[in-house]
A and B are shown apart, each in its own frame.
Chain A
C-alpha cells in the first residue's frame, strides 16, 4: 500500500502543483468571508448565495452575449470582459437574494429558514431554466457550475508565465478580501457581535451585512470555476468552523482558518489522486485513476472538521471526556490517599470506605504511592508526602471556612472534601498565613506541616 502511494506520488507534476495552489488560494479566499458569516451565524446565507449565483451567472453570460450580438462588444472585448459580467451579475443577484429573503421574512411573516428555503430554491429553479434554455447556444454547462473542473481550468494559463488564470483570479479575490478585512475589521467585529451597539456607534450594521453579502457572492463566483458552486460551501464553512473548534479570539481564528484552508486544499488533492486507485482496485475496479479534486477537497474539509471536533485541545469531544476521566482518577486516587493517611493517624487500619475506581488504585500503585503488606494497603513515603499535602489543604480549608463563615462544624468536612483536590501549594501558603499558621483544625485534629520533617 505504501508502495502504491509512493508510485502515485512519483507521478506528481507541475500540473498537480498548479491544482493545489489554485485550490488552496480559492479555499483561503472563501474562508475569509466564510469566517465572518460563521460568527454572524449566517453560514446558510453562503449556501443560498452559491445557489442563487446560478441565475446570476446565466444572466451575466447572456448579457455579455447579447452585447456582442448587438455589436457593442468586439469579440476580443467579449472574451476579456465575460468574467467581469458574470461576477457583476452574480453579485447583484446575491444582494438581491439577500434583500428578497429579508423582505419575505418581514412582510410575508415567514420564519428565517423557510424564507431562505423559498427564495433560493426559486432562484435556482429559475437559473436552471435559463441555463437549459440557452445551453445549446453557449458553452455554459450547469455541471461545470455545480462541480467545477479544476483539473482542466489550470491548463488555461496567462501568457508564458505559467500562472493559471484561475489562480490569478482567486489570488486577487483573496487579496481584496484580506485588504477589506484589515480596513474594516472593527466594523465587522462590532456588527457581528452586537448589531444594535454597532448602530449606536454609527456603524450601520445593515450596510455591513449587505457589503458582506456582496463580497461573499463575488468571492464565490471567482471560486466557482475551479471548485463548483456546492463544494465552495465546504470551503466557506469548513475551515472557519474547524478553526473555531481549535482556538479562541477573532484574529487567531481567522489566521488559523486560512491555514486550514490551504492545508485542506493540499490534502484534498492528495486524497483525490491517492485514495481512489488504492481503494477501488481492491473492490474490482482496476481502471479507477483518480477522483474529483474539488469533491475530495470538500471531503478533506469535512475530515479536518471531524478531527477538530473530536481532538481539539479545548473543545474536542474526546479531549473533554479524557480530561473528565483523568480528573475522576485523580480525585479518586487522592481520596484513597487521604483515607489511608487518616487511618494511620488514628492507628486503626479498619474498615475504610474506599472509592471503587480500579484505575485509580492501579495508578497509585504504579506511581509508588501505596503498597500492600499483611493484606493491608499502606502508604509509601512518597504517598504519605502527597497525602499530607492533601490533608493539610483539607484541614486548612476547614479552618478557613470555620473562621470566616458561619458553618456548623459538622458541615465543614464535606465542602473541604470537594475543594481539597484543587488547592495547590500557593493557596495553602496563603491560607496558612491568613489563619496565622494554625496547628489544629476545627475538629481538633493536627494539621500536617508543609515541609514534613522526615
Chain B
C-alpha cells in the first residue's frame, strides 16, 4: 500500500524546482495562497469566515450550468475554463446574496442561512451534474477536478489566469485597504461617514468569490475555504497590528501553498489540495501555541514569569514588615534590613502561607539573589532584596494612602487592593502618588502603613495613624 519513498535524486529534483511543471504549479498556487491570505484577513475581522464556505459550494451549479449553456450553444466548447469560471463566479455571488437576504429579511439566523444556501446550491449542482452525465458529450471527468482540485494538472494558461486574478485582488485590496479596515471595525461609523457600506461589502464578497473561483482548480471547492480562513486565523495569533497581520497572513498562505505543492510533487498519491490545507493547519497549530499575541505557550510562559515576580515581591515585603515590626519607629530601616534574620515561624505569623509555600518562595528568591537562606536561623535579605523590599512596600503603602485619602476607603480594607496593584505600578504613577501625598509624609523612605499589620506587635499599631 505504501508509495515508494522518493529517492534523494527525486528530492533534489523537486526541491530545486528543476521541472518546468513543478515551477508552474508552484507559482500558481503560491499566488493563490497570497490572495487567499489577504482576503481572509477581512473575512475574519468581519466575522464572516464561513461565507467563504458558502461561496465555494455555490460555485458548483454555476460550473454545471455554464457547461450546459456552452454545450447547447456550441457542442464541444463546454470545457472552456474561462466560461466555466464565469459561471462559477455568477452563482457564487448569487449564493452570498441569498444568505444576506435571508439574514436581513427573515427571522432565520445567520448560521441556518449559511448552511441552507450552501447545501441547496450544492444540491442543484449535483443534480445538474447527473444531467450532464447523461448527455453524450458530457464527460464529467474534467469537471470533477473542480470539486477535489487537481493542482498537478495546472498548465501555464491556468497560472496566467490565477496570476492576473490574484494581482487584481491584491490591487483592489491595497487600494481600498483603509475603507475595508473601517468597514471591518466600525460599520456604523463607516456608514455615518458616507462610505457606501453595502457596496464595499459587496466588493469584499466579490474578492472572496474571485479567490474561490481561481482556487477551484488547484484545491477544489470543498477545501478552498481553508485558503482564506486558516492563514488569517493563524496570523491573528501573532499581532494586533492590521498591517502586520495582513503581511503575515499572505506569507502563511504562500508558505502553506508551497509546502503542499512540493510534498504532493514528491508523493504523487497525496492530493495537493488536502496537503496545502494540512500544511496551513500545521502553521496554525504552531501559531496558536507560540504566537506572540495569543499563543498558548507564550501566554503560559508570560504568566509563569509574572507569578515568579509576584512571589518574590510578596516574600520581600513580608520580610520587610516583620523586620519593621521589631524596630522602634523612626529607626533607619534601610541599614537594618540586610542585618536582621527572619524565621519561617515569624513569616507564617505575618502571612497565612503554608510552610511549604514559604520554603518554595525562599528557594526561588535565593536563586534570584534577593535573600540568603540560613536554615534554622532564618532568612536574610540581600542588598538587592532590601532595595526591592523598600520599593515594593513603598508602592504598596503609597497606594494604600492614596486610597484612604482620595478614594475614601476605610484603612482596614485597602491592604487587599494594594496587594494586587503594587507589582504593576509604573514609576510615573509612583512619582505622581508621591507628589499627591508629599505634604503629609515627606522625607520618609517608606511611609508608615495606614492600618495595623497582621500578626505584628503593638508597636506598629501605635505608629499607624
Given contacts A42-B111, A129-B275, contact A113 B49 (CB under 8 A): yes
Closest chain B CB from A117 CB (angstroms) = 4
Residues of B within 8 A of A297 (CB): 123
Given contacts A104-B288, A114-B44, A132-B269, contact A126 B106 (CB under 8 A): no
Closest chain A CB from B60 CB (angstroms) = 9
Given contacts A109-B294, A142-B148, A245-B108, contact A121 B277 (CB under 8 A): yes
Given contacts A137-B1, A283-B72, contact A244 B107 (CB under 8 A): yes
Given contacts A47-B53, A285-B68, contact A294 B126 (CB under 8 A): yes
Q: Are B223 and A121 in contact (CB under 8 A)?
A: yes
Closest chain A CB from B191 CB (angstroms) = 22
Given contacts A44-B115, A104-B288, A295-B130, contact A234 B72 (CB under 8 A): no
Return the chain A residue nearest B48 by Cβ: A113
By DSSP majority rule, is chain A's interface helix, strand, loop, or mixed? helix
Return the chain B residue nearest A235 by Cβ: B119
Task: List A98-153 residues whose CB lies under 8 Å from chain B.
Answer: 104, 107-111, 113-118, 121-122, 124-126, 128-129, 132-134, 137, 142-143, 146-147
Q: Are A107 and B229 in contact (CB under 8 A)?
A: no
Q: Are A108 and B102 in contact (CB under 8 A)?
A: no
Residues of A within 8 A of B120 (CB): 234, 238, 298-299, 301-302, 305
Closest chain A CB from B32 CB (angstroms) = 15
Proximity string of chain A (36-55) to chain B, C-beta cutoff 8 Å, 1 when within and 0 when not:
00100111101100010000
Closest chain B CB from A252 CB (angstroms) = 15
B312 within 8 A of A: no
Q: Are B269 and A230 in contact (CB under 8 A)?
A: no
Proximity string of chain A (421-449) to chain B, C-beta cutoff 8 Å, 1 when within and 0 when not:
00000000000000000000000000000
Indicate the member of B52, B127, B223 with the most A CB atoms within 10 Å.
B127
Closest chain A CB from B10 CB (angstroms) = 19
Selected contact of A237 from candidates B50, B116, B128, CB within 8 Å: B116
Proximity string of chain A (181-224) to chain B, C-beta cutoff 8 Å, 1 when within and 0 when not:
00000000000000000000000000000000000000000000
Question: What is the size, in residues, of chain B's interface with A at 8 Å between Cβ atoms?
Answer: 67
Residues of B within 8 A of A401 (CB): none
Return the chain B residue nearest A117 by Cβ: B229
Return the chain A residue nearest B287 by Cβ: A108
Task: List B101-129 residues whose CB lies under 8 Å from chain A.
Answer: 102, 105-109, 111-112, 114-129
Proximity string of chain B (415-455) to chain A, C-beta cutoff 8 Å, 1 when within and 0 when not:
00000000000000000000000000000000000000000
A16 within 8 A of B: no
CA distance A341 to B294 in the complex (A): 74
CA distance A86 to B275 in the complex (A): 24
Residues of A within 8 A of B358 (CB): none
CA distance A298 to B119 in the complex (A): 7
Given contacts A244-B107, A298-B119, A302-B123, contact A121 B288 (CB under 8 A): no
Residues of B within 8 A of A309 (CB): 102, 105-106, 108
10 smallest beta-carbon distances between A and B, as pairs: A298-B123, A302-B120, A295-B126, A295-B127, A121-B226, A117-B229, A234-B119, A233-B119, A125-B277, A291-B127
Query: Can you offer 29 A-B residue contacts whose CB atoms are under 8 A?
Result: A43-B115, A47-B115, A51-B222, A107-B296, A109-B294, A110-B233, A110-B236, A111-B44, A118-B230, A122-B230, A122-B281, A125-B273, A128-B223, A128-B274, A230-B57, A231-B119, A233-B119, A237-B112, A238-B119, A241-B112, A245-B107, A280-B135, A285-B72, A288-B134, A298-B123, A299-B124, A301-B123, A302-B121, A309-B102
